[in-house]
């Protein structure tokens, strides 16, 4: 470990390098002014730093803060070490949606584009541990940037039954002008598509059995006469062949703004066993903006939300067994994990577990990472 703590921040105007710390300082404090020993911004910053070392809950966050000590923590605005109960109590009382909007604003400053456009995947995830303990928020809907793996926005709800409405609320909150939004079959709804278009973005929606009429009519189109684009990937004893066929949207499509429809076929062969999956896609992006290869990449990229966000939070951070279940704590802790993952992704990390171990070896390392975010 480093023998000398990182230097405390100066009084000069905050630069891009300290932007995240500055934005965290803008989170509203729900406590009475009397008796406050730590600012909300400092507590959140310490939480992010601890998560960057693999901390999974309040006890681990407090232990990291104790190890770091006041001299190091002063760089984050904390001049005395906070205990576990302080993190637990304050995080449970925060306005989690307001925090997510602030973190989303930070994420926008770190966004990258593909062909001049941001591509966001909107999807939901249960927080099973919180649900088992009766927490008010047990399901989270997030918007993940395809390129960076950074969460651009998140909203918490009480259960999955409200996911469609929550996703629409998130769409209204995000700055989506010029972006592309990918969503799974649950969200293939006319009102959702309309909200995406109203936000100035293009939609890419998957049509499956939940939209029976749409799915059946798309399936009946003369796909055998449409030229196909095929790609094959091999690795680890697995071969995946993806074929996409794209045509102009027929006039009977009831989703306003739809310009193209596509058929996607995925054939996976593992140890001689073959499985085939066929789905259909509708999009408001025209052929100039979304040729077959681009559209296929957008659809395939959507599922990175599972691998790059949900899987990491479930497996690496063991989120489903988290003890945080009071008030806003489940959503706040998920937001802190999102931020930690984002910092590591933006720094080039591809293996989050490895990156956490790397940061755990040096008390200064996570602080420097946050100050540079």
* Better pLDDT: 323 or 249: 249
CA dihedral sign of residues 26, 27, 28, 33:
negative
pLDDT score, position 131: 47
- pLDDT tens digits, 354-364: 999 999 999 99
pLDDT score, position 128: 60
Cβ proximity of 241 and 266 under 8 Å? yes
Read off the pLDDT band of 159 (50, 70, 90): low
| Among the listed residues 201, 205, 161, the one whose alpha carbon sits nearest the alpha carbon of residue 183 | 205
| Among the listed residues 81, 73, 93, 88, the one whose alpha carbon sits nearest the alpha carbon of residue 21 | 73
Q: What is the SS3 assignment for 188?
A: coil
- pLDDT tens digits, 67-114: 999 999 999 999 899 999 999 999 999 999 999 999 999 988 887 776
pLDDT over threshold 50, residue 14: no
Read off the pLDDT band of 237 (50, 70, 90): confident
Neighbours of 33 (CB within 10 A): 6
pLDDT over threshold 60, residue 258: yes
- pLDDT tens digits, 112-151: 776 678 999 999 887 765 544 444 566 889 999 998 889 9
pLDDT over threshold 60, residue 15: no
pLDDT score, position 129: 54
- pLDDT tens digits, 313-327: 988 998 877 767 678
Q: What is the DSSP letter of 114?
A: B
Token code pair at residue 155: 């909203």
Query: How far is residue 268's CA from residue 266's CA, in Å, rounded to a whole number?
Result: 6
Query: How far is residue 36's CA from residue 174's CA, in Å, rounded to a whole number?
Result: 33
Percent over 70 (pLDDT), the chain:
91
List, in order, residues 6 or more apart from 266 with CB less than 8 Å away. Answer: 240, 241, 242, 243, 276, 277, 278
């Amino acid at each position: 470990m480093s023998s000398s703590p990182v230097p405390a921040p100066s009084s000069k105007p905050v630069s891009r390098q300290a932007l995240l710390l500055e934005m965290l300082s803008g989170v509203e404090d729900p406590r009475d002014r009397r008796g406050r020993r730590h600012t909300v911004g400092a507590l959140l910053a310490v939480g992010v730093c601890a998560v960057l070392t693999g901390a999974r809950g309040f006890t681990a966050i407090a232990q990291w803060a104790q190890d770091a000590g006041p001299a190091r923590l002063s760089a984050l605005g904390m001049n005395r070490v906070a205990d576990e109960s302080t993190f637990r109590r304050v995080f449970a009382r925060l306005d989690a949606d307001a925090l997510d909007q602030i973190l989303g604003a930070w994420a926008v400053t770190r966004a990258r584009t593909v062909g001049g456009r941001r591509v966001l995947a909107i999807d939901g995830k249960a927080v099973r541990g919180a649900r088992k303990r009766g927490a008010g928020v047990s399901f989270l809907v997030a918007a993940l940037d395809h390129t960076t793996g950074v969460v651009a926005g998140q909203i918490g709800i009480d259960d999955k039954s409200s996911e469609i409405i929550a996703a629409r609320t998130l769409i209204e909150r995000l700055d989506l002008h010029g972006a592309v939004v990918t969503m799974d079959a649950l969200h293939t709804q006319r009102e959702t598509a309309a909200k995406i278009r109203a936000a100035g973005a293009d939609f890419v929606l998957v049509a499956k059995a939940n939209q029976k009429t749409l799915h059946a009519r798309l399936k009946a189109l003369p796909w055998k006469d449409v030229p196909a684009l095929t790609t094959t990937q091999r690795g680890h004893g697995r071969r995946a062949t993806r074929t996409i066929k794209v045509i102009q949207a027929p006039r009977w499509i009831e989703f306003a703004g739809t310009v193209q429809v596509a058929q996607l076929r995925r054939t996976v062969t593992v140890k001689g066993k073959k499985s085939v999956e066929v789905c259909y896609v509708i999009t408001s992006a025209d052929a100039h903006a979304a040729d077959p290869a681009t559209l296929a990449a957008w659809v395939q990229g959507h599922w990175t939300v599972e691998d790059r966000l949900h899987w990491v939070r479930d497996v690496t951070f063991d989120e489903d067994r988290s003890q945080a279940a009071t008030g806003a704590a489940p959503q706040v802790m998920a937001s802190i994990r999102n931020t930690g993952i984002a910092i590591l992704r933006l720094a080039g990390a591809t293996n989050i577990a490895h990156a956490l171990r790397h940061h755990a070896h040096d008390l200064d390392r996570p602080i420097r990472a946050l100050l540079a975010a």
